[in-house]
Amino acid sequence: MEWKNLSKTLPIGSNLLARGLSNLTNCIHCGELEAANHLLLHCEFSRQVWMQAPFKFSIDSSMILDLVTGIKASKTWICAPPTGVSSGHLFPWICWAIWAARNHFLFENRVFSPSDTITKAVREAIKWQMAQMTEKPFCQQDPYRMEEPTLDSRQIICQTGAA
């Protein structure tokens, strides 16, 4: 998503307007011209999402100049321990959740609150972080795997299909 933003190919109001592709150029939340920095950082909806983000200190996203600055700054932000998210990993997930909320509203007429949006961001960040683990914790081993029984040379085994 950030690459698309930097290359000005993110299908957002200001980029579509510059190409003459759409008359849907205004932010769905506030009506201002929809630009990436506006939608993901400066719009009142996204500001509410960022204020609810589980960082040690509240984030006022209106003070973040642009997404690149936000990504750099977020590396020092400390996530609250109960979330289970490592520091610095939540910024892209919040941006993605805001983008997804926008698309759900725009294409499916489904409305997500700032609380719903930050909850989705945290949940997705935790899933991603767990998927990056190289070793699975003991409790995540395959519960259906059964150990092969030891056979006595006098036993006869008949295997049948369950289909």
For 68-77, what is each residue's pLDDT tens digit? 899 898 888 8
Q: What six digits make up the tokens of 83?
A: 């979330």
Average pLDDT on 27-53 reads 91
Q: What is the mean pLDDT of residues 16-27?
A: 70
Predicted pLDDT at 117: 97
68-115 confidence digits (pLDDT tens) = 899 898 888 888 877 777 755 799 999 999 999 988 998 899 999 999
pLDDT exceeds cutoff 60 at 157: yes
Of all residues in the chain, what percent are helix, strand and coil, respectively (each to 5)? 50, 0, 50
Higher pLDDT, 145 or 49: 49
Q: Which residues pair with 79 in a beta bridge?
A: 55
* 8 A C-beta contact, residue 14 and residue 34: yes
CA separation for the pair 54, 115 (Å, rounded): 11
Tokens of 35: 């630009």
